[in-house]
Amino acid sequence: MSVVDTIKEQIENNTILLYMKGTPRFPQCGFSSRASEALVACGERFAFVNILEAPEIRAELPKYANWPTFPQLWVNGELVGGCDIICEMAESGELKELVSAAAKQQDSEEA
């Protein structure tokens, strides 16, 4: 499987997915820390990929997504954005709405 196929599979199989440096418990950069904190505050489970442990994804995802930086938040297969967008959405309440709706939709599909 190619790296792009792996990325597509990760995005398709995870309703809420954060590509970040480090993990939510141990972020390895300030931007990833702020983004994951905003997502955790929404109160829903989410998947993450530590791009520091996946250099091939770190190299390919910016081209695939047409988004040059990390972190990257994907919800329902769509790129939401990076740290600044995530934090702005968190402040306005839009992030919680988006994440909650995606989690509810996932729960109803699994039920």
Q: Is residue 11's pLDDT more than 80?
A: yes
Fold of 3-103: Glutaredoxin (3.40.30)
The packing angle between helices 3-13 and 55-65, to 10°, is 80
Q: Is 5 annotated as a binding residue?
A: no
Q: Is 84 annotated as a binding residue?
A: yes
pTM > 0.75: yes
Q: Is 26 annotated as a binding residue?
A: no
Cis peptide before 71 (omega within 30 of 0): yes
pLDDT in tens, 33-74: 999 999 999 999 999 999 999 999 999 999 999 999 999 999
More confident residue, 110 or 53: 53
**For the chain, what are the domain ranges?**
3-103
Q: Is 42 annotated as a binding residue?
A: no
